[in-house]
Structure 1
Amino acid sequence: MNNIQQDIELSFDDLVRACDNQSSWVLSLIAESVIPATQKPELERYTGYHMAIARRAWRIHRDFDASASATALILQLLDEVEDLRRRG
């Protein structure tokens, strides 16, 4: 039996539902390069990892009323803190 697990594949609409049905929010995350898209966002396929990022970004936005650009910066800083903790 193969132990390699496949990541889930999500549509744009799936990603939007994960962010409280806020398509403009998801589009702003894509514009800020928080979530990558190589084609028109509505045609892109996303992974569970992208959904986790989108949901984390949505919680930051919701809890702190942060803009998409501020959320992108906060996520970057949180990633750096986590990286420093792993090194230390």
Structure 2
Amino acid sequence: MTEQQDIQLTFEEIVCACDNNIDWVVSVIEEEIISVHGKPQQASYSGFQLSRIRRAHRISRDFEASVPATALILQLLDELETLRKGG
């Protein structure tokens, strides 16, 4: 079985996926919605991180939620998903 390769994105590509809002992306990282190693502008981002930040962006936009509120909503959704899986 071969190991599946994940995509790798730059900070600029992540920002582009979030309506070019650099400050919002940095706030999401500071709030630990996604974690990065090193400085955000120099980090490499995975497909999972892109998916998570896009989900956070939709929540933030649709509910006009602040970044801390978005982080809490995502945490609750994660816990709900874990409970539904039986674990």
TM-score, with length taken from structure 2: 0.94
Report the CA distance between 1:38 and its aligned residue: 2.0
Structure 1 segments of 4 or more deviating over 4 A?
none
d(CA) in 2 for partners of 1:24 and 1:32?
A: 12
Q: Which residue of structure 2 lines up, in the alignment, with residue 31 of structure 1?
A: 30
Measure, in 1, the Cα distance between the counterparts of 2:41 and 2:51: 18
* Matched residues, number: 87
- Consecutive unaligned residues in structure 1, runs of 5 or more: none
SS in 2 for 1:87: coil
Partner in structure 1 of residue 51 of structure 2: 52
Structure 2: 5+ residue runs without aligned partners?
Answer: none
CA RMSD of superposed structures (Å): 1.2
Identical positions, percent: 53
| Distance in 1, Cα, partners of 2:46 & 2:37 | 14
Per-residue Cα deviation, 1:23-56 (whole angstroms, up to 9, x for no partner): 1111000000111122111000010000000000
